[in-house]
Amino acid sequence: MRIGLIRVAPTIDLTCKETHPMHIEPGVVTGAKLVLSCATAAAACGALVAATLRQRGAEGVSALAARSALATAAVFAFFEILPHWPVGVSEVHLILGSTLFLIFGLAPAAIGLAAGLLIQGLFFAPFDLPQYGMNVTTLLVPLFAMAALANRLIPAGTPYAQLRYADVLALSLVYQVGVVTWVAFWALYGHGFTAATLTGIASFGTAYVAVVALEPLVDLAVLFAVKAVGGPTRLVAPRV
């Protein structure tokens, strides 16, 4: 699959340059090690359910459903359409998770990332499904970390159009660093501290600087557009 996740073949060929849709290939994490990916995915999905229930109670089912559907469609389009390039242990890709979070809120963004990833696996890359737990963990855990930071930085009830640019930039950077950290973790967890793995992680991290630089600019541009329009609607989260 075409997002910034691990892309190591079972033989640890870190120079592999295929461009077919792929996240973590079969064989990277196997046997008893898969238990950890199931546990992290279960924890992430539990947090997703909790966030969904909270947002449903606060804003209603219709707004939550509409934003979740839009987020899912956007994620699927990001994975299938946006440019990507293989580097080191993964493919560098614009995931735009922080952008989804800023526009739709935590629960719809989390649902969109998990559902978009699942839809792509079911219909375009079924061989990727055994690695779904690792991939969804890599996408969702940084999202929840970003939400926790938002709760500290942004006063409750702050409309999206009134957010500070500095806060939006900080949230975006937290998400990008989180993704890179999980990519490195799964690579090391699956293959250990070998020279090839460390070199691949270093190559990916260096190339990912472009994403770290670009995605915050996208977030700032979206915020600028919302400020220019004049505020949120039911399709835009009133609170980050």
Q: Can you tell me the distance from the alpha carbon of 45 to that of 194, in angstroms, rounded to the nearest whole number?
A: 31
16 pLDDT above the threshold of 50:
no
What's the CA gap between 130 and 134, in Å, rounded?
9
Q: Where are the alpha helices (DSSP H) in the chain?
A: 34-59, 61-81, 97-104, 106-123, 132-153, 165-191, 195-207, 209-229
Q: What is the pTM of this model?
A: 0.83
Q: Which amino acid is at 166?
A: A
pLDDT tens across 65-82, in order?
Answer: 999 999 999 999 888 787
The structural domains of the chain, with segments of one domain joined by +, span 31-229
Tokens of 193: 């501290």
Exposure on the CB side of residue 239, measured as CA atoms within 13 A: 16
Q: What is the DSSP letter of 167?
A: H
pLDDT at 233 over 80: no
Rg (C-alpha) for the chain, rounded Å, is: 17
pLDDT band for position 17 (cuts 50, 70, 90): very low
Is it the case that residue 20 has pLDDT exceeding 60?
Answer: no
Q: What are phi and psi of 90, to 5 degrees?
A: -155, -170
Buried b (16+ CB within 10 A) or exposed e, 100-120: bbbbbbbbbbbbbbbbbbbbb
pLDDT digits (tens, 9 = 90+) for 43-68: 999 999 999 999 888 888 998 999 99
Say what the pLDDT of residue 68 is.
Answer: 95
CA distance 198 to 97: 26
Structural contact between residues 142 and 97, judged by C-beta atoms closer than 8 angstroms: yes
The predicted structure's pLDDT at residue 49: 96
Write the burial class of residue 232 (CB in 10 Å: 0-12 exposed, 13-18 middle, 19+ buried): middle
Q: From the options 3.90.1150.200, 1.10.1760.20, 3.40.50.1370, 2.40.110.10, give the CATH code of 31-229.
A: 1.10.1760.20
Q: Give the amino acid at 75.
A: V
The one-character DSSP state at 6 is B
What's the CA gap between 112 and 72, in Å, rounded?
4
Which pLDDT tens digit goes with each residue over 113-125?
A: 999 999 988 988 7
pLDDT digits 0-9 by tens, 187-213: 889 888 888 888 877 887 787 777 777
Question: Do residues 171 and 102 touch, judged by C-beta distance below 8 A?
Answer: yes
**Dihedral angle sign, alpha carbons of residues 137, 139, 142, 145:** negative
Given a contact cutoff of 8 angstroms between Cβ atoms, the answer to whether 154 and 240 are in contact is yes
Report residue 118 as tokens.
């699942």
Residues 141-160: pLDDT tens digits?
A: 999 999 999 989 888 777 77
